[in-house]
Amino acid sequence: MEPTHRFVRTNGISLHIAEQGAGYPVIFCHGFPHGWFVWHRQLAALAAAGYHAIAPDLRGYGRTEAPAGVEATTNQAVIGDLLGLLDEIGAERAVFVGLDFGAQMVWELALRAPDRVAAVFVLNNPYAPRPPKPPSAFWTRAAERHFLHLAYFQEQGPADAELAARPREFLARVYYSLSGDYHYLDTWKNPPGLGYLDVLPQAPELPWKWLTEAEFDALASEFERTGFTGGLNWYRALDRNWELTEGLPTTVEVPTYFLYGENDPDMEGFSGRDPLTTLRANVTDLREVEKVPGAGHLVQLEATDSVNAFLLTHLSALHTRAQA
């Protein structure tokens, strides 16, 4: 069985969703540069186990509308889309799964609307409280010393054009660079003033042990059609996200399950702090932390069996505990 597709009108936009199965809703939130399809192996596994697995193209991606401007691509805006999706499917609450920007958005959702969140499952991007300064205050100085994609993506135009001109090459190189087979932070050894393709490593020919040619084609074809501006605008909204989180709770209190790839760059602790220590100190109902040896950022593709087992085991325990 394959996922079915439909559009939901929510929060002023048309949201494309892929869904599979019936039962308790589990909503998957992707990052950059991804789309709903990055979760297709998880949709199949959860549907077979009796869950309603849903993977949207988040706003700015794929077949979902891409409103222009920073204000339209904040976490707050995307959370509005997802709350509308919950209303559309008639669910008071759901489990949310997030990776990359999707993880950041799921963490914030747990702060903004905990009553709509049964639990969060986060892959690779650990929670940290709101910093005392906006994100750009930290990356601007670093970008004076070396290439940093966070800074490069801020100006609308250069990155949009560079990546849209060579979408398949970019995707192959960035997926490979973030995998467990490469050390992504080596891209930071390059001087400032370069483009992203100047610093990313060459990718080996497909297929890879964790990604087939057909799967890559499904991901790449969407960006060949849309370009990357919708996703890049999420980077341009990072400071605005910081402004909009003033006054929110600083600790996550919903049931939380965290899984990470051993070689994921987000686990290296850029500030000198251990990200797992920070996670444990600020998530009050952290029920499980699991490391996947050898895996990198796209852990749900690199280690599908481990991720699916993690989800299914703890979803079952979560529901058993809720019914007790």
Q: What domains lie within the chain, and their CATH numbers? A: 4-323 (3.40.50.1820)
Of the pLDDT bands very low, low, confident and very high (cuts 50, 70, 90), residue 292 is very high
Q: Where are the alpha helices (DSSP H) in the chain?
A: 40-48, 75-88, 101-112, 135-145, 149-152, 158-165, 167-177, 196-199, 213-226, 229-236, 238-244, 275-282, 299-302, 304-323
| pLDDT on residue 272 | 60
Terminal alpha carbon distance of the chain: 33
| CA–CA separation, 286 and 283 (whole Å) | 6
| CA–CA separation, 293 and 302 (whole Å) | 11
Catalytic residue among 16, 40, 149, 297: 297
| pLDDT on residue 296 | 96
Of the pLDDT bands very low, low, confident and very high (cuts 50, 70, 90), residue 266 is confident
pLDDT, tens digit (0-9, with 9 covering 90-100), for 131-167: 999 999 988 888 999 999 999 999 999 999 999 999 9
Nearest residue to 75 via CA among 137, 146, 130, 22: 130
| pLDDT on residue 323 | 56
Across all residues in the chain, what is the average pLDDT? 95
| pLDDT on residue 69 | 87
As a whole number, mean pLDDT of residues 215-229 equals 97
Q: Is 146 a catalytic residue?
A: no
Nearest residue to 203 via CA among 298, 88, 95, 113: 298
User: CB neighbours (10 Å) of residue 66?
Assistant: 18
Catalytic residue among 57, 100, 160, 264: 100
Percent of the chain surpassing pLDDT 90: 92
Q: Is 100 a catalytic residue?
A: yes
Residue type, 207: P
As a whole number, mean pLDDT of residues 253-271 equals 89
pLDDT, tens digit (0-9, with 9 covering 90-100), for 110-137: 999 999 999 999 999 999 999 999 999 9
| pLDDT on residue 324 | 47
